[in-house]
Chain A
């Protein structure tokens, strides 16, 4: 257990539905990252928060994706109008201040049918 919690662990949804994932980082970590991982590949960076501010979004994060981190604590990632290509593991990671070690959660596995 890395201390980063993600819910749900698994989500199966029909194409076109909206889904929301939650990440609870380690409490003193002000930096939070979302990654997506497909089978047999390394994680791909999606977006980054410092406290409550979303500082960067990858081109992978289309208009259907939105992420928030209200009050600089937990974060949510929402996918609207899901497509089969969205099926992947969505990972959250947090880092404290000027630290170098990212602590990853176990991820939410999304399957779009």
Chain B
């Protein structure tokens, strides 16, 4: 079951904040966030694990509500470099294999000067 992301697209001015949400109909072991710029490889941002552990980059924060099976990615004081498409991924079949993911449809973020 593919996770559902919202919103589908966001346009911001530099310095503004954004929140991207990811919901799943299945119980989650972990939620993974990636950013992909046009024509480039997806790049790892963060993983949130059941139990509250987070591993990721310093300037991005996220939350993981296990009961609601939701995760949110918080982008604060956005910079032009934040532009891209953000994907959340959840493990296939409840697996703990961090490479076998089902990705959402993506949220396109555009930051304008």
B-binding residues in A (CB < 8 A): 2, 4, 31, 33, 40-45, 48, 56, 91, 93, 95, 99-107
Contact = CB atoms under 8 A, between A and B. Distances in A.
Interface of B: 2, 30, 32, 34, 39-44, 47, 55, 87, 89, 92, 97-106
B42 A43 contact: yes
B105 to A, nearest CB: 6
A2 B99 contact: no
29 contacts: A2-B41, A4-B41, A31-B99, A33-B99, A33-B100, A41-B105, A41-B106, A42-B89, A42-B103, A42-B104, A42-B105, A42-B106, A43-B101, A44-B103, A45-B92, A48-B97, A48-B99, A91-B42, A100-B32, A100-B47, A101-B44, A101-B55, A102-B99, A103-B44, A104-B41, A104-B43, A106-B40, A106-B41, A107-B41
Majority DSSP secondary structure for residues of A touching B: loop
Contacts of A2: 41, 43
A100 B31 CA distance: 11
B100 A45 contact: yes
A40 B106 contact: yes
Given A43-B42, A43-B87, A105-B41, 16 more contacts: A2-B41, A2-B43, A31-B99, A45-B92, A48-B99, A91-B41, A93-B99, A95-B99, A100-B30, A100-B32, A101-B47, A102-B32, A104-B42, A106-B39, A106-B40, A106-B41
